[in-house]
Amino acid sequence: MQYAGIAWTADGYEVEIVDDTGERAQAPTRWGAERVTELTDWLERTGRESGEPLAVVVESTNGLVDGLFTAAGLDVHRADPWVLPERPDFGSVPARSLADRARRGLAGLSPLTAEGGGQTGRDDDYHDGIRRSADAEAELTRAGRCFRHGPRDRREIALTFDDGPDPAHTREVLDLLARYGVHATFFCVGLHVNALPDEVRRIVDAGHSLGNHTWSHPFLPDLTARQFRLQIDRTADAFDRAVGTVPTVFRPPYGCRTPEMLSELLAGGPALALWDVDSWDWARPGPEKITRTVLDHVLPGSMILMHDGGGDRRQSVLALPAVLEGLLEQDYRFVSADTLASRAATH
């Protein structure tokens, strides 16, 4: 069997593949974040040509590749902090460490699924973080800096897309939004903003809004306060370099909250933008199911969660025309997440 460790860096990904003896099965490779589709194809081909099973291992602070990997049929596992050496403040443990940890005991790692996403098997930690964050979240809400939706007395909604920009799917989403004359907000990850600044400029030039979605889409309970702050600040810097502005709204990956994270937001920074309508497009249930989920749950003031990056988003693109037509038929006006935030703060 072979084991591929995938580490994230400020620029993209590093990959090391070892065999059962710990010897390198391939020379180490580096991939820019804009080449993640190529990386997926390369891993699939490498496993097929080797004639041996290939286990792909990411760590819990890398939530950007598992969707593409699982969609391609790769065997993907997550290594959590307690089975790894200490991480740097920015970046993951080395790819070799991930590959070696898998070789020493793959059964001790969490297999990832399309349905569970990057947090597969961590539901207890997820809900515990939200429970412990209740007081801090309430304080942010009172300050007008945390919201799930806008006022229910206006037929306004915010359509949002997470995990981009993606070199293929984001353009398809933008074309559809232009066709229907609809405004949206794109919660982008820093790795992709840094690698694809032209795509970010394309979003802004088309009249849409931006939100901060961390650098590497980590499972936030596994970050220290400093690591979380670096994820936010470096992503803001990438936006500033790309378009000369910094988003005023932030969405945590998976909707995770921890007291440590919220204390950083209480000290100043973007408003916390959650959602009240999850399309479940990230689980790839089919375009019809995605459409029906949105249209069955939308209300005045809703914040709708969809995705344009971080995985195979063909179903999201296929569902979007029916989603837009259904919402327009109900006379909803599309506004930015920033606008909903300001409405919620003053309502």
Instruction: Render pLDDT for 42-60 as a digit per residue (tens, 0 to 9).
Output: 999 999 999 999 999 999 9
Q: Catalytic positions, please? A: 162, 307
Q: What is the pLDDT of residues 104-155, one digit of tens each?
A: 999 999 999 887 888 888 999 999 999 999 999 999 999 889 999 999 999 9
Are 306 and 175 found together in one domain?
yes
Q: For residue 56, give the 3-state DSSP assignment.
A: strand
Rounded distance, CA 172 to CA 177, Å?
9
Average pLDDT over residues 216-237: 96
Q: Report which of 281, 200, 286 is spatially closest to residue 237, judged by C-alpha positions.
A: 200
- The residue among 119, 146, 173 that closes a domain is 119
Are 326 and 196 found together in one domain?
yes
Residues 289-311: b if buried by 16+ CB within 10 A, e if exposed = bbbbbbbeebebbbbbbbbbbbb
Residues whose CB is less than 8 angstroms from the CB of residue 319 and which lie 6 or more positions away in sequence, other chains included: 279, 281, 287, 288, 290, 291, 294
Judged against a pLDDT cut of 90, whether residue 230 lies above it is answered with: yes
Residue-level pLDDT at 122: 92
Angle at which helices 259-266 and 134-142 cross, to 10°? 20
pTM of structure: 0.96
Spatial contact of 79 and 59, defined as CB atoms under 8 Å apart: yes
Are 199 and 303 found together in one domain?
yes
- The residue among 119, 138, 161 that closes a domain is 119
**What is the pLDDT of the chain when averaged over all its residues?**
95
Q: Report which of 7, 14, 190, 164 is spatially closest to residue 91, judged by C-alpha positions.
A: 7
Rounded distance, CA 275 to CA 279, Å?
10
Are 102 and 244 found together in one domain?
no
Rounded distance, CA 347 to CA 345, Å?
6
**Amino acid code (one letter) for 210:** L
DSSP state of 315: H
Are 147 and 32 found together in one domain?
no
Judged against a pLDDT cut of 90, whether residue 36 lies above it is answered with: yes
Are 199 and 258 found together in one domain?
yes
Q: Which runs of consecutive H residues, i.e. helices, occur in the chain? A: 36-50, 66-71, 95-104, 123-132, 134-142, 169-180, 190-195, 197-205, 225-243, 259-266, 287-297, 314-329, 337-346
Q: How confident is the model at residue 209 (pLDDT cuts 50, 70, 90)?
A: very high
Are 106 and 190 found together in one domain?
no
- The residue among 119, 144, 172 that closes a domain is 119
Q: How confident is the model at residue 177 (pLDDT cuts 50, 70, 90)?
A: very high
Are 148 and 188 found together in one domain?
yes
Spatial contact of 211 and 186, defined as CB atoms under 8 Å apart: yes
Residue-level pLDDT at 343: 86
Are 221 and 78 found together in one domain?
no
Q: Report which of 51, 53, 55, 50 is spatially closest to residue 66, judged by C-alpha positions.
A: 55
Residue 76, domain extent: 2-119
Q: How confident is the model at residue 345 (pLDDT cuts 50, 70, 90)?
A: confident
Average pLDDT over residues 195-201: 97
How large a percentage of the chain has pLDDT more than 70? 100
CATH number of the domain at 337, please: 3.20.20.370
Q: How confident is the model at residue 20 (pLDDT cuts 50, 70, 90)?
A: very high
Query: Number of structural domains, the chain?
Result: 2
How large a percentage of the chain has pLDDT more than 90? 90
Q: How confident is the model at residue 268 (pLDDT cuts 50, 70, 90)?
A: confident
Are 157 and 285 found together in one domain?
yes
Residue-level pLDDT at 342: 87
Q: How confident is the model at residue 178 (pLDDT cuts 50, 70, 90)?
A: very high
Average pLDDT over residues 303-309: 97
Q: What is the pLDDT of residues 273-295, one digit of tens each?
A: 999 999 999 999 999 999 999 99
Average pLDDT over residues 59-69: 95
Are 164 and 277 found together in one domain?
yes
Are 180 and 67 found together in one domain?
no
Residue-level pLDDT at 300: 97
